[in-house]
Chain A
Amino acid sequence: MELWFTEEHTENVRFSIKVEKTLHTEQSEFQRIDVFESKEFGRCLTLDGLMMVTEKDEFIYHDMIVHVPMASNPGIQKVLVIGAGDGGAIRELTRYEGIAHIDLVEIDERVVAVSREFLPGLASKFDDPRVSMHFEDGLRFIRTCENEYDLIIVDSTDPFGPGEGLFTKEFYGNCYKALRENGILVNQHESPYYENDAKAMTRAHSRIAPFFPVCRVYQAHIPTYPSGHWLFGFASKGIDPIRDLDADAWNRLGLKTRYYNTDLHAGSFMLPNYVLELLEP
């Protein structure tokens, strides 16, 4: 018998992974959570049937969402992570000794519990003493924060479903308010390729841009996400990801990474023309 996981990347395009066995299925208060085992990608976590992480390619996503901002400002001490219930971003962040505190805000406690049980390689650092967990809506959490964080990482699902509030103008405005003078906002920024993803991408960009003097987009190749071509947003109150990159300082930290390096850092901001066109105001 063959078992396949299929995600519709568009109405007309499907992406399938052969499943060895399913490990977990549940309907939480917010979404359906599934974990399955596959030969090609190891264990995979899906939310509402959409691929969130696989053991094999998660390093790309988490390297890029964490190390790009961290290398742009080595002085980052206080970090807010919204979403990221799988623990991958937290795992990477806790490698930095300079970080004094991380607030993790995840709307669905069950995603953390399921990740702890089935994805130990990702959910390994929730118990780091610097990490505080908050199980609530990110939009609600950030409302009361003012001038508090050096870095906000938004590791959200797509803007259809529980993550929708994290793609809104009110959210980005509140992020601006919550960041310190040197603050950076990095977010999962959807894909430029398929039409619907591209619309979500340009919409997010146009909502962030009015608040932040620096508003850039960078890319990575993530095999299990629609089209494989994925973008991240980098917005800040002044720090420029290329000009302010201190490659030597980051390299001196001696962090071993499989995807990220300081050359690729600058390169990831060099975008294809069709993406540049999409981003034009």
Chain B
Amino acid sequence: MECFGSPGKEPYMNSVSEGKNGLSQSRAPVYEALQEYKSLRVVPFDVPGHKQGRGNPELTEFLGKDCLAVDVNSMKLLDNLCHPVSVIREAEELAAEAFGAAHAFFIVNGTTAAVQAMILSVVKPGEEIILPRNVHRSSIAALVLCGAVPVYVDPGVDKELGIPLGMSVSDVEKAILAHPEAKAVVVNNPTYYGVCSDLRAITELAHRHGMKVLADEAHGTHFYFSDKLPLSAMAAGADLAAVSMHKTGGSLTQSSFLLAGKNESEGHIRQILNLTQTTSASYLLMSSLDLSRRNLALNGVKIFDEVIRLADYGRDEINKLGGYYAYSKERTNGDTFFAFDTTKLSVFTRNIGLTGVEVYDLLRDEYGIQIEFGDLGNFLAVISVGDRERELERLVSALSEIKRRYSKDPYGLLDHEYIHPIVDMTPQSAFYADKISLPIAECAGRIAAESVMCYPPGIPIVAPGERITKEIIDYIIYAKNKGSFMTGTEDIAVNEICVVKGR
């Protein structure tokens, strides 16, 4: 059995010794089963039809024979994600142990599936759920699917940076007291920008009122492997967490974990997952989860120490350029900005007279550098397990050049304020209502039947069931003009928005 990493190196949160199934974190059951499958030279008269790549030579040439050879279907040797009893179960148990969870589910339909399973497993039609308005579109979509009623908590706003923050504990408390029947509280841990709420306090508060805590940790995988980063959801006592292993943990795109605490029913969550998740789970994705979990369990502490060092270095270098502001823990305020994920290289650009989107576009078009996203005043570069100093030098140097060549007077850039939503209908009833599509400019006063968002970050500017105001329209038009990639609407050009008919 091969094993990488220094043996005996303890991960930060978890004991590496033996899982409840007696396996150590140096094992990778799904990966090992695939290796065995290959060595057995099984003759495939099942799906997939490419039959170990032979039926699609171009694709095999492109992705590699080894890759196609393990793009296989569930079978006895390889277990079945819909009903795991052997190697997938073992791999899930190892993942649970590595993340300090009672159970971990392998997710192959993206973190979207994990977020939706979290929400669908705790609320039923008509029940209330408390969530910050700056949730990802997947949460809003879950509300459309299940018919739950959102109770939005306005996130705090950093006025200077123009970014939404976390939820204040007292605002969550007010929402809980006003909606004592709500079933759960959703928390971003962290937000896209790396901002964390006081998750432990919110969790204790919610639990005192009998509510579950669901953490969207799409951007927080690395929290589980460092004591220098904000608290992870499982460590804070949250009940469920959706963790994008692929975002910062090194697994393949679309692969994720759903983590469950000790009070959750594994069987119930599995049922919910099986409502929408594929019955042909990709072994490429699952083996990538298995191997990345092993890598992080064995080497995560060292890896993320280096990631933190790199991001800190990048921040210092960017701040030395002048004009840009790469912010960090100094923005924390003990409440709505309780903690900061320092692996996020979030940079405020307004002082060089460019929006974050403009810098994002220049980096890509002029310098061949792809960053995660730009909004009206900020951009975000993600630093993760795969980064090296030399690429960071390129980013910093390109930013230096962008400042030299393109900076202008910041006058005239829109000061973005958080837009307080007016919820008139549940997302589900608005989404399924009779609707008409209207040009954006004519939508003021109407109720949206669909979301409009910049992507990334994919946080709806307006969500189904919300009243469209002039302020929202101005914002959408401004963001479009500044080059934000807009999405969410039936109209692919995003010139029109579907609104509820007659209201």
Question: Which A residues have a C-beta under 8 Å from some C-beta of B?
Answer: 137, 139-140, 142-144, 162, 164-165, 168-171, 173-174, 177
Contacts and interface: CB of A to CB of B under 8 A. Distances in A.
A137 B397 CA distance: 11
Given A137-B389, A168-B398, A174-B401, 10 more contacts: A139-B390, A139-B394, A143-B396, A164-B390, A168-B368, A169-B401, A170-B367, A170-B398, A173-B404, A174-B397
A143 B400 CA distance: 7
Contacts of B404: 173, 177
Which range contains the number of B residues in contact with the other chain? Answer: 10 to 19
Given A170-B400, A173-B405, A139 B393 contact: yes
14 contacts: A137-B389, A139-B397, A140-B317, A143-B321, A143-B396, A144-B320, A165-B397, A168-B368, A168-B394, A170-B394, A170-B398, A173-B404, A174-B397, A177-B404
A165 B397 CA distance: 10
A57 B317 CA distance: 40
B367 A169 contact: yes
B402 to A, nearest CB: 9
B329 to A, nearest CB: 24
B366 interface: yes
B317 to A, nearest CB: 8
A177 B321 CA distance: 14
A237 to B, nearest CB: 15
A165 B401 contact: no
A140 B390 CA distance: 9
A140 B314 CA distance: 11
Contact of A140 (B368, B397, B398, B401): B397
Interface string B401-425: 1001100000000000000000000
Nearest to B404: A177
A174 B394 CA distance: 11
Contact of B390 (A137, A169, A173): A137
Nearest to A168: B394
Contacts of B367: 168-170
A173 B393 contact: no
B366 A169 contact: yes
A177 B397 CA distance: 12
A173 B321 CA distance: 15
Contacts of A174: 397, 400-401
A143 B324 CA distance: 15
A48 to B, nearest CB: 14
Contacts of B320: 144
B40 to A, nearest CB: 34
A170 B390 CA distance: 13
B393 A137 contact: yes
A173 B404 CA distance: 9
Contacts of A139: 390, 393-394, 397
Nearest to A136: B393
A139 B405 CA distance: 17
Contacts of B366: 169
From B367, B394, B396, name the one whose CB has the most chain A CB atoms within 10 angstroms.
B394
From B367, B389, B397, name the one whose CB has the most chain A CB atoms within 10 angstroms.
B397
A169 B400 CA distance: 12
Contacts of A170: 367, 394, 397-398, 400-401
Contact of B393 (A140, A169, A177): A140
A165 B400 contact: no
A140 B396 contact: yes
Contact of B394 (A144, A162, A165, A177): A165
A142 B400 CA distance: 11
